[in-house]
Chain A
Amino acid sequence: ETGVTQSPTHLIKTRGQQVTLRCSSQSGHNTVSWYQQALGQGPQFIFQYYREEENGRGNFPPRFSGLQFPNYSSELNVNALELDDSALYLCASSFKTTGVNEQFFGPGTRLTVL
């Protein structure tokens, strides 16, 4: 069973640029959630994708967008990068049920915005 993988591991961008982060779900999972973890903070929910559509969103502006592909992999896109976007971005996959949706996390992508 393959776990959740993310790429790249680290990324350095400058303010105003755009970035794409990638995530491969754990085998058998159909839902992907993205979280932002700023330094010294707990992860904050950005959004979730299910059946290739955004299924829920946290308090993040529209310049944060995503995609989910038929193979359940996902991308997080951030436009017009700001210094405060520097964080660890975590992807989590799960299988959507009516009960508890246990989420399995990838190792994260560390984004630095200069």
Chain B
Amino acid sequence: AQSVTQLGSHVSVSEGALVLLRCNYSSSVPPYLFWYVQYPNQGLQLLLKYTSAATLVKGINGFEAEFKKSETSFHLTKPSAHMSDAAEYFCAVSERGSTLGRLYFGRGTQLTVWP
């Protein structure tokens, strides 16, 4: 079974500071990896995904994530935080080779951005 750990349920940064949200996965085979963002009272929006090839993945809104197989990690970063980045972020995995495409989510990290 797949599992996802997001370190830090809450992260606070100042506007303009680096954003780093951590995600580690547990799987014998590197899965597909995703980051989703959820704004209050809304559904999930895909930020970026890792499927194969390039280990550094660029997404929307200036976010990027790096897949590190040796560390089983897929941390999300953004060089300069903006007030509009305040939201909940979820890391998710799905099993490579499975046609089901079931997503396993972490518990989420609430990002607060201070002016």
Contact = CB atoms under 8 A, between A and B. Distances in A.
A104 B44 CA distance: 8
Contact of A100 (B42, B101, B106, B108): B101
A100 B32 contact: yes
B115 to A, nearest CB: 26
B97 to A, nearest CB: 9
B100 A105 contact: no
Contacts of B107: 40-42
B37 to A, nearest CB: 11
Interface residues of A, number: 32
Contact of B44 (A96, A98, A105, A110): A105
Contact of A107 (B32, B42, B49, B94): B42
B101 A94 contact: yes
A100 B90 contact: no
B102 A33 contact: yes
A44 B92 CA distance: 11
Nearest to A58: B102
Contacts of B45: 105
29 contacts: A6-B43, A33-B102, A40-B107, A42-B105, A42-B106, A42-B107, A43-B103, A43-B105, A44-B105, A45-B102, A45-B103, A48-B101, A56-B100, A56-B102, A90-B44, A96-B101, A98-B99, A100-B51, A100-B101, A101-B99, A102-B46, A102-B49, A105-B36, A105-B45, A107-B41, A107-B43, A108-B42, A108-B43, A110-B41
Given A41-B107, A42-B4, A102-B46, 20 more contacts: A4-B43, A31-B101, A40-B108, A42-B90, A42-B105, A48-B102, A55-B100, A56-B102, A58-B102, A90-B43, A99-B51, A100-B51, A102-B49, A103-B101, A103-B103, A104-B46, A105-B43, A105-B45, A107-B43, A108-B43
